[in-house]
Amino acid sequence: MSDQPRLRVIGERAIHAGRSYDFVELSVDHPDGVRRTKPMVRHRGAACIIPMLDTPDGPGVVMVRNDRVTIADFLLELPAGGIDAGEDPAVAAGRELEEETGYRAATVEPLARFYTTPGLTDELMHAFVARGLTHVGQRLEPYEVLTVHTVPVRDLLAMIDRGELTDGKSVCALLIAERRGLLRA
């Protein structure tokens, strides 16, 4: 694999500096000898969390129904958000859980890390599992339009199979959790 030619970034130009991420254009030398530009999003990373809640009907996962203007639709998602500069991903996960769902976790355990869309951004998503939830009240940002829903664990995989759960970070984290035996009803 080490003999494979590599792309080589020789420069980067800022297009727009944002609050959570930046838009940049890379200058890239390709193995064919041609220099091309590649627009991308530089991201500080994000955290998502699978909040496990014991209910009278069995275990559930607390999710949010999020109004996503970029796709002009609502998505059922795991709570998630950006990692602040210098912030530990587990702390970000706990903060986002509380802000978006109104639940505080007794434990936040790492599950996995994955790149969300490496053709567009360097965003690294850190996934966690939260247990021992206590309701403390939701604290939404002014721009957030979302509602909280508890989904029975027994329904999650079928919802993915039926195309009802289509948010990539949520599908990925839930399938990893299922594979590790963490979503047993």
Residue 1 has pLDDT above 80, yes or no: no
The candidate with the shortest Cα–Cα distance to 43, out of 126, 113, 114, 124, is: 124
How is 141-174 classified by DSSP, letter by letter?
-TT--EEEEEEEHHHHHHHHHTTS---HHHHHHH
The amino acid at 78: L
pTM: 0.91
Q: Within 52-121, where are the H helices? A: 89-101
Alpha-carbon distance of 91 to 93, in angstroms, equals 5
Residue 185: pLDDT band by 50, 70, 90 thresholds? Answer: low
Mean of per-residue pLDDT scores for the chain: 94
Mean predicted confidence (pLDDT) in 156-183: 96
Q: Enumerate domains of the chain plus CATH numbers.
A: 8-43 (no CATH), 46-179 (3.90.79.10)
Which residue reads 């980067």 in tokens?
12
